[in-house]
Structure formats: C-alpha cells, structure tokens
Amino acid sequence: MDGSGLLDLSRERLVQVDAVLARFFSLAKNRATPFGQQYVKLWETLENNTVGGKRFRPRMVMCAYQSLGGEDLEAAANVGAAFELLHTALIVHDDVIDHDFTRRGLPNIAGTYRDRATAAGASTRVADHSGISAAVIAGDLALFNSYRLIDRSGADDQTRARLLEVMD
C-alpha cells in the first residue's frame, strides 16, 4: 500500500474515533439534561474542546493496534477515543494550573466560563474563579470518562487491565 493509501486508512479510522466521541458526548448530554441546562452546557463546552487537533493519540492507538494484527476496530476506536479524552482532561487541567484562559487563540473552558460570568456582571475575581472552577470540573469529567471508555471498550479483561495500566 502506498503512502496515500495509508493516509486514507488512517482518516477512515479517525472517523471511527470521532463517531465514538460523538456518541459519548451525546449520551453524556442526555444524562446531564435532568440536572439542568447549565450541566448540559458544561458538557457542550467540554465537547467543543475535543474538536479539532491532529488526533495524534487516537491515530497512534489505531495504527499500533492494526499493525499488531488487531481486528476489532470498534474496540480500538473506543480506546483511541479514551486516549483523546484523557489528553483533553490533561490539557484542561494544565490550563488551570497555568491560569490560562485561552488555547489556540480562543477561550478554553476556563475562559468560556470566565467570559460568561463577566457578561453576567461578575467582578474580575469572581469571573476568574468561576472559569477556573468550571474547568476543574470539566477536566475531572473528561478524566473519569476516559477510564469509563476503556472499561466499556469491548476489549477482553486482560487487555482492558493492561490499557488501564498504560493510562495510569
């Protein structure tokens, strides 16, 4: 297979990962609905923070899996999505640690919630605190659910245990 064939295959696998993430966020927002629109908005903001990027981690997962002879591409897509969600959690928490309110020139989760609080009339201190608080919660949700995706990936028990060790 030539390089362009590998690229097409890689894109196809990333479509599978994106589908897993889309399903995951759809279910998460549905579960959040009974708790109120603010909780749904938090999930939407977290989802927006996973869009774009190179999908390097899921790409590595899918390529390694296939090169080692793996055939359950749905399970691998779930694992790839889990690693992407873990990466998102780490980025969100890193922004909190660094007191960053933007990423790639746009408001990140902390910045989005800070801006909402500012627009609602909050002082700078309160708005910053609101943004940081929302980002901590969103990062925790992404972290916990990255493990949940591994747990529900369809991988056998031994493989799942090894994947969780890698994530740790």
Which sequence spans correspond to the domains of the chain? 3-167
Question: Token digits for 102?
Answer: 């933007």
Confidence of residue 15 (pLDDT cuts 50, 70, 90): confident
Bridge partner residues of 102 (DSSP): 107
pLDDT for the residue numbered 13: 78
CATH class of 3-167: mainly alpha
Give rounded-to-5 percent helix, strand, coil for the chain.
80, 0, 20
Task: Please state, in angstroms and rounded to a whole number, the distance separating the CA atoms of residues 81 and 19.
Answer: 9
pLDDT tens digit string along 107-129? 999 999 999 999 999 999 999 99
Buried b (16+ CB within 10 A) or exposed e, 108-139: bbbbbbbebbbeeebeeeebbebbbebbebbb
- 110 Cβ neighbours under 8 A, 6+ residues apart: 95, 96, 100, 101, 131, 132, 134, 135
pLDDT tens digit string along 75-116? 999 999 999 999 999 999 999 999 999 988 899 999 999 999
Are 14 and 81 within 8 A, CB to CB?
no
Are 55 and 135 within 8 A, CB to CB?
no
Confidence of residue 63 (pLDDT cuts 50, 70, 90): confident
pLDDT tens digit string along 125-145? 999 999 999 999 999 999 999
Give the highest mean pLDDT range of 59-63, 65-69, 145-149.
145-149
Has residue 6 got a pLDDT over 50? no
pLDDT for the residue numbered 10: 67
Per the prediction, the chain carries an average pLDDT of 90
Alpha carbon of residue 33 to chain centroid: 20
